[in-house]
Amino acid sequence: MPTISDLVHNGAIVKIDVELAPHDQPLRLLYGTPQFVAWLREVLDGAQPDQLLGHSSIAEQIDDLFYSFLSGEQLIFTRQFRAVRAEENAVWELKTPDVRIFGWFMAKDCFVAVFGNWADTIKDHDLYRGYRIAIRRLRRELGIDATLCVKGVAPDDVLSV
Amino acid sequence: MTFFRFDIDTRSRLAGRFIGRVRRELLKAIVEEKQGGLTQQELARRLETRRSDINRQLSGEAEITLRSLADLAWALDREVTVELRRPDTATGQNIAPATSTIGYQPVRIIARKAPND
């Protein structure tokens, strides 16, 4: 039964952070798969959708989302995060105006990001089901479906405020 | 690789987090008022605008001007506080670097050191 530390050491997940403000302390944990980190690198290199809905760049939106998450700010349920489907061991979605990030909570306040994509692309091609199935498969392959996965789908099952 | 820092330049970071904070404050106020029975429809009625316009502002798909921020605050029975202050720096705090090392824009060399310096 792998631990979070095992997953980091064998390269299955990578710890992600952003610059915090002087008075902030990291109150939550954020990890990503290597594939997700590769997508973040593309964003840092300037990747963006054809049409930008938000009034900040993609990188700015993601930085703000990660900052809010890591510094322990209150995230607004359904506007900024939600379970893709109400089911045990749910897949969760983090949201900015132009970006959707899919993953799951290994524990309360501890999220693993697996897929990132443009909001418009996901809606146009209805990618929710595919991402949900792929994430469930990944958890099974890692052998953590029953251990490192929050079961509830209520906001306070996954985030403390 | 066991660690990745999503690092953008300071100017972008400040802008993105400011825009995000304004939106979050509005959303938090709306969630609080919703518990008291305020609907977005009622909010739109108070502001004499369309619900879809408010929804687009709250989702970040439409810009929130200073005027619309003030109007939303009024409709939510809130006051807006604005303060510009110098960054805090003191021993023992997180020190944000003045320039990004991995920023998504190419790194600009401000003053290249001469070979004989």
Q: Report which residue type is found at B94.
A: N
Residue B77's pLDDT band, with cuts at 50, 70 and 90, is very high
Query: Among residues of chain A, what percentage have pLDDT more than 90?
Result: 86
For residues B43 and B66, what is the distance between their CA atoms, to the nearest angstrom? 18
Q: Has residue A59 been placed in a domain?
A: yes
Take residue B32 and report the two structure tokens written for it: 């609080």
Q: Has residue B17 been placed in a domain?
A: yes
Work out the minimum CA distance from B25 to partner chain A, whole angstroms. Answer: 10
For residues A156 and B31, what is the distance between their CA atoms, to the nearest angstrom? 15
Q: Has residue B113 been placed in a domain?
A: no
For residues A29 and B93, what is the distance between their CA atoms, to the nearest angstrom? 19
Q: Has residue A159 been placed in a domain?
A: no
Task: Give yes or no for residue B101 having a pLDDT over 70.
Answer: no
Q: How far is CA B100 from the centre of its chain?
A: 19
Mean pLDDT of chain B: 83
Q: Hey, are the CB atoms on B2 and A54 less than 8 Å from each other?
A: no
The predicted pLDDT at position B95 comes to 60
pTM value? 0.89
Burial letters B29-62, b for 16+ CB under 10 A, else e: bbeebeeeebeeeebbeebebeeeebebbbbbeb
Q: Which residues of chain A have pLDDT under 50?
A: none
Q: Has residue A160 been placed in a domain?
A: no
Per-residue pLDDT tens digits for B7-58: 999 999 999 999 999 999 999 999 999 999 999 999 999 999 999 999 999 9
Number of neighbouring beta carbons within 10 Å of residue A57: 19
For residues A159 and A146, what is the distance between their CA atoms, to the nearest angstrom? 19
Q: Has residue B4 been placed in a domain?
A: no
Contacts with A149 (C-beta within 8 Å, 6 or more apart), sequence order: A89, A104, A105, A106, A139
B10-35 vs B51-58: helix crossing angle, rounded to 10: 130
Q: Has residue B58 been placed in a domain?
A: yes
Helix (H) and strand (E) counts in chain A: 6, 6
Q: Has residue A158 been placed in a domain?
A: no
Residue B97's pLDDT band, with cuts at 50, 70 and 90, is low
Number of neighbouring beta carbons within 10 Å of residue B115: 5
DSSP string for residues in B57-91: HHTTSS---HHHHHHHHHHTT--------PPP--T
Per-residue pLDDT tens digits for A56-79: 999 999 999 999 999 999 999 999
Classified as helix, coil or strand, B9 is: coil
Kindly provide the ipTM of the predicted complex, given to two decimals: 0.92
The predicted pLDDT at position B106 comes to 46
Domain around B38: 10-75
Task: Give yes or no for residue B60 having a pLDDT over 70.
Answer: yes
CA nearest A64 in B: which residue?
Answer: B17
What is the number of structural domains in chain A? 1
Kindly report the CATH number assigned to the domain that includes residue B23: 1.10.260
Q: Has residue B84 been placed in a domain?
A: no
Give which of A15, A158, A144 is closest to A92, Cα–Cα. A158
Instruction: Please indicate if any CB of chain B lies within 8 Å of the CB of A52.
Output: no
Mean pLDDT on B64-91: 90
Mutate to test the interface with B, among A6, A56, A65, A77 (most CBs of B within 10 A): A56
Domain around A74: 4-152
Work out the minimum CA distance from A138 to partner chain B, whole angstroms. Answer: 19
Q: Has residue B24 been placed in a domain?
A: yes
For residues B45 and B59, what is the distance between their CA atoms, to the nearest angstrom? 19
Q: Hey, are the CB atoms on A22 and B24 less than 8 Å from each other?
A: no
Take residue A149 and report the two structure tokens written for it: 């996965």
The predicted pLDDT at position A161 comes to 73
Q: Has residue A14 been placed in a domain?
A: yes
Residue B110's pLDDT band, with cuts at 50, 70 and 90, is very low
Q: Has residue B95 been placed in a domain?
A: no
Residue B102's pLDDT band, with cuts at 50, 70 and 90, is very low
Q: Has residue A121 been placed in a domain?
A: yes
Work out the minimum CA distance from B28 to partner chain A, whole angstroms. Answer: 7
The predicted pLDDT at position A21 comes to 85
Q: Has residue A137 been placed in a domain?
A: yes
Q: Has residue B34 been placed in a domain?
A: yes
Q: Has residue A84 been placed in a domain?
A: yes
What is the number of structural domains in chain B? 1
